[in-house]
Amino acid sequence: MTRPWDGIVPDEDIRRYEAAGFGRPTGFGERPALLIIDVQYRTVGTVRQPYWEALAEFKTSCGDAGWDAVDRIAPLLAGFRAAGHPVLYPHVAPKMGYDSGRLGQKVPAIMNIAERGYDFVEEIKPVDGDILIPKKHPSAFFATPLASYLIDLKVDTLVVTGCSTSGCVRGTVVDGFAYNFRVTVPEECVFDRSQTAHAVNLFDMAYKYADVRPVAEVMALIR
C-alpha cells in the first residue's frame, strides 16, 4: 500500500523507526467522535482554486488541497451522522487585538481575515446537535472544554480531520494521544499548504501518536 510519505521520508528513516518498535496500531474503539478542525473558507477559499490563485482571497488558504479534503470529509461525515456518532467542530474564532501574542507575530495574516472567512464550508457545515469548539491556539484541547465534552459523550476514539496537517491537526492529535484517546487520522481528510509538511507530519503521527489510515478503511470501521 502506498503511503502519503512515500518518496519524501527516506527508507532509512522508516527502517530506524520500525527497528525501534515505533508505529504499532492503537486500534479503534467502540465510541468514536469525528473532529473537523478549521475547515472554514479562510483555509480553502470560497471557490476551488489552485494555491497561488486562492491566496488572492485569503492569505491563510490552502487552495485546492483543502477542497480535495472537503470532498473526502463529506461522505465520512455522513457516515458518522448515520451511525449516530458525535461530531465536533474545533475552529478558529475571530481574532481580537488582544489575541495577537506570538501567533500574531508568527502569522500576521490570521489577524486580518474577512468575516466570511470564518464561516464553515457549506458542504460539511455543522447541523443541530453538533458541538462547536472555538479555539485560539493550534490544539483543540488547549484552553477549551473539548476534553469535558468527550468524557461526557464517553468517547474513546478520535477521528481527526481538517487543517492544517502540520499545525492544528497535529497539535490536537498529540494532545488527544496524551489524554489516552485512541486517535485515527484519515489521510485524505487532512490538508496543508505544504505537501512536504503534510507528508512528514502524517509519517510522524503514524509512527508516534495515531493510526493514519485511508479514509475507506475508516468508513468501514464506523459502519
Number of structural domains in the chain: 1
Q: How far is CA 49 from CA 40, 43, 44, 63, 118, in A?
A: 15, 12, 9, 5, 18
For the question of residue 168 being annotated catalytic, the response is: yes
**pLDDT tens digits, one per residue of 2-35:** 999 999 999 999 999 999 999 999 999 999 999 9
At 113 the pLDDT is: 86
Q: How far apart are CA 75 and CA 219, in angstroms?
A: 8
How far the first Cα of the chain sits from its last, in Å, is 22
Whether 11 maps to a domain, the answer reads no
In a domain, 38, yes or no: yes
Looking at residue 114, its pLDDT comes to 83
Residue 103's pLDDT band (boundaries 50, 70, 90)?
Answer: confident
Domain around 107:
29-222
User: Alpha-carbon distance 178 to 185, whole Å?
Assistant: 16
Torsion on CA atoms 80, 82, 85, 89, rounded to nearest 10: 50
Listed residue (164, 157, 201) closest to 39, CA to CA: 164
E-only strand ranges, 38-193: 87-92, 131-135, 157-163, 182-186, 190-191
Please, which pLDDT band fits residue 98 given cuts at 50, 70 and 90? confident
CA distance 198 to 219: 22
Residue 163 lies in a domain: yes
Question: 15 lies in a domain?
Answer: no
- With respect to residue 207, please indicate whether it lies within any of the assigned structural domains: yes
Residue 13 lies inside a defined structural domain of this protein: no
Determine, yes or no, domain membership for 14. no
In a domain, 6, yes or no: no
Query: How is residue 160 annotated by DSSP?
Result: E
Name residue 153's amino acid: L
**188: which 3 cell numbers?**
485524505
Query: For residue 7, what are the β-bridge partners?
Result: none
User: CB neighbours of 218 closer than 8 A, spacing ≥ 6?
Assistant: 76, 159, 184, 186
- Looking up residue 76, the CATH number of its domain turns out to be 3.40.50.850
Cβ atoms of 214 and 188 closer than 8 Å: yes
- Which has more pLDDT, 24 or 108? 24
Are 130 and 149 in contact, with CB atoms under 8 Å apart? no
Predicted TM-score (pTM) above 0.85: yes
Residue 6 pLDDT = 97
Catalytic residue among 62, 163, 168, 189: 168
Q: Which of 163, 178, 165 is nearest to 209 (CA)?
A: 178
Angle (CA) 6-169-65 rounded to 5° is: 60
